[in-house]
A = this chain, B = another copy of it.
Amino acid sequence: MREYRVLIIGFGNVGQAFFELLNLKKHLLGINFIVTGIIDRSRGLISNPSPGVISEAHTGKLLGKKVVLDQIPGFIEESNADIVCEFTDLNIKDKGEPAFTYLSTALRSGKHVITTNKGPVAFHYDELMELSRKYNRLIRFKGTVMAGTPSFNILDLLPGTRVEYFMGILNGTTNYILTRMYEGLTFDEALREAQELGYAEADPSLDIDGVDPALKAVILSRVIGWRHRFEDVEVQGIRDVDVKRHGDRVIKLIAHANADRVYVKPIPLERGGNILANVSRNLNALTLKLDTLGEITVVGPGGAGRMETAQAALTDLMYIVNHVNYLGR
């Protein structure tokens, strides 16, 4: 059985779920994935973690050697991992740092990388692609858009097609809030419920002001080949939405882009005329308009669930394994 050494950076909900999923599925996948290290700001540096690390991780206490943030790039560089999986939190203010430093350090030191963090991908797309080419290592980031539900990677199944536009519901929290508002709740009540269910953060502004779907729209655009940047996205959130004002149409927070323009804003959709109008609760959806097929749509869970995002990283991991096998690198 082939062997791959994996280093995990960030051991919160997603990192832990990934560690569990990897142990659960590696025999099925026929690959001996060995997690040689876990680095987490609060839980420390854990070398060669045993499966039991999960029950301890839930407590949040220090599990390994205490780590100072500045040391992390050095640990990555010196690691013997084949693949670095980066699961740290989004940081908008610092434009995806320190995650970008972790990813670029990993690529430079000959490791393939996986991230579920939108920041480094949305803010440093060109640099990451350039490093990937230069050091002949892969970077994958499926989990940044719609968790494990196929989104931009569905284009791998559609060779030769040209994307004319996309249109999506890329944020589960706001979709949940809007759904509940149609069921009679006020915005504040729906938000509170979303927070209680763990869909929304204590500070929910990234979701309800449309920043999260804007970052995802940038990532989708870049994968498709359009050069939109975060600053180019016209963004309007859902704070002022009046769900009663549009008759039979239903308001959805829509991310839309074509080669010329990208926006995130609440749009009223015909219930009968549009699949997206019927995507409710915290589901996500993406419609791609293709030259040869017309519109195709994928609907599924977004990023709210830990296991759904871990599946995205597993998908990326197997992509890398298959390509490494093929390419002999």
Contacts and interface: CB of A to CB of B under 8 A. Distances in A.
Nearest to A158: B315
A307 B278 CA distance: 28
A161 B301 CA distance: 14
Interface in A3-28: 21, 25, 28
A157 interface: yes
Interface string A281-304: 000000000001111111111000
A243 to B, nearest CB: 15
A296 B299 contact: yes
Contact of A298 (B296, B310, B314): B296
Nearest to A300: B296
A240 interface: no
A293 B294 CA distance: 26
B292 A160 contact: no
Contacts of A272: 278, 280
Contacts of A195: none
B299 A297 contact: yes
A43 to B, nearest CB: 24
B159 A292 contact: no
Contact of A150 (B148, B154, B301, B318): B154
Nearest to A321: B159
A82 interface: no
A314 B159 contact: yes
Contact of A308 (B292, B308, B310, B311): B292
Contacts of A292: 21, 148, 307-308, 310-311, 314
A158 B148 contact: yes
A311 B293 contact: yes
A118 B223 CA distance: 34
29 contacts: A28-B160, A29-B159, A147-B293, A148-B158, A149-B293, A149-B296, A150-B154, A150-B157, A150-B296, A150-B298, A157-B315, A158-B311, A159-B318, A160-B311, A272-B278, A275-B275, A275-B279, A278-B278, A292-B310, A292-B314, A293-B300, A296-B298, A296-B299, A296-B301, A297-B297, A297-B298, A299-B299, A326-B326, A326-B327
Given A150-B296, A293-B308, 5 more contacts: A21-B160, A28-B160, A292-B311, A296-B300, A297-B299
